Homo-oligomer: A and B are copies of this chain.
């Protein structure tokens, strides 16, 4: 089976991703002042920035929460009308570490049935990382729990890409259009209160959270499936963004990107999760769960393609 490919992930292009463009190194004082002036805007989301202040350039802006926390994050102001706020990224820093340091979206303290929710970051107000390092580390900002959103967008961006290369360097980008978040409290913090990401929360398939159809901005539903191991093909349907998928051993994952689960091996194609994965203890425990079950980036059997394994999953709200 071929590894999915598209023109944007052409290897010859990828090699240039860490080289600074001349514009970066010689940015003018005028430009810096323009960027600094963005601090005067008052908005809770990129959508509000776009509507209230007619901002249409991708990049970093300041947002404020309902309680007054001010933070900087990246706004995608161009995709499908723009107004998308980056609120989080799931980054696998060490697939050899099994629920060790850096596995903030599952557990950083081992595979442990006594901690069914693991670190619990899907449903708390902890924040970590920075927007600029969203492809080099896990990221979660106050918008994750503060913004009242309707739709989500997801980008898979090669690790360590600088921000101005994210859009063109991504290997997959898509968004939802059905305002599904309105039904689940307006953001992931609320959605996961209703669908707790924890071990033994229910049975696979029967108790999974929602699966939402997506529209592709880069890639397509077949490519989505093919990023995951060939063995998963029989139990996934492309073209969806899915939440709280449970595996056959009652372990919970958080997000299945690009696919809808139709079986019990969700650990091979969903990211994030609770703090206990019984099968092959502790080998399924970690932010990218069991994406390397049959070898690192081999794209054999249950192992995901190397591009997928080495890309961060960026989560946006609108």
Whether A79 sits at the interface, judged by CB under 8 Å, is no
Say whether A36 contacts B64, CB under 8 Å: yes
Residues of B within 8 A of A80 (CB): none
Known: A27-B66, A32-B44, A72-B68. A96 touches B125 (CB 8 A): no
Determine whether the beta carbon of B96 is less than 8 Å from that of A100: no
A101 within 8 A of B: yes
By the criterion CB–CB under 8 Å, are B132 and A136 in contact? no
How far apart are the CA atoms of A93 and B115 in the complex, in Å?
Answer: 10
Instruction: Pick the contact of A186: B25, B70, B126, B164 (CB < 8 A).
Output: B25
Assuming A18-B193, A32-B64, A42-B29, is B94 touching A109 (CB within 8 A)?
yes
Q: Find the B residue at minimum CB distance from A121.
A: B136
Contact with B along A126-143 (1 / 0, CB 8 A): 110111110111000010
Q: How far is the CA of A33 from the CA of B102 in the complex (A)?
A: 36
Q: A100-B109, A101-B108, A148-B25 are in contact. Are A67 and B164 (CB under 8 A)?
A: yes
A124 interface residue, CB < 8 Å from B?
A: yes
A82 on the interface (CB 8 Å rule)? no
Say yes or no for A8: interface residue by CB 8 A criterion: no
C-alpha spacing A23/B108, complex, angstroms: 35
What chain B residues lie within 8 Å of A148 (beta carbons)? 25-26
Q: A142 touching B132 by the CB < 8 A rule?
A: yes
Complex partner residue of A38 from B24, B68, B127, B129, CB under 8 angstroms: B68
The reply to whether A136 and B130 form a contact with Cβ atoms under 8 Å apart is: no
Residues of B within 8 A of A266 (CB): none
Q: A168 at the A/B interface (Cβ < 8 Å)?
A: no
* Docked-complex contact B115 and A125, CB < 8 angstroms: no
Query: Chain B's nearest CB lies how many Å from the CB of A164?
Result: 7
The answer for the CA separation of A225 and B134 in the assembled complex, in Å, is 40
Q: Are A66 and B109 in contact (CB under 8 A)?
A: no
Cα–Cα distance between A120 and B135 once the two chains are bound (Å) = 13
A196-225 vs B, CB cutoff 8 Å, 1 = contact: the mask equals 000000000000000000000000000000
A85 within 8 A of B: no
**How would residues 226 to 238 of chain A score, 1 for a CB under 8 Å from any chain B CB and 0 otherwise?**
0000000000000
Known: A60-B68, A69-B130, A125-B162. 4 other contacts (CB 8 A): A29-B42, A32-B64, A96-B112, A126-B130
* 25 pairs of residues in contact across A and B, judged by CB atoms under 8 Å: A23-B66, A24-B66, A25-B148, A25-B186, A27-B44, A27-B66, A29-B42, A32-B42, A32-B64, A35-B67, A60-B68, A67-B163, A67-B164, A94-B109, A100-B109, A101-B101, A120-B160, A124-B137, A125-B132, A125-B135, A125-B160, A126-B130, A126-B133, A126-B137, A127-B132
Query: Which 9 residue pairs of A and B lie closest in terms of their CB atoms, listed nearest first?
Result: A35-B68, A124-B136, A60-B68, A125-B133, A27-B66, A126-B133, A24-B66, A25-B148, A126-B137
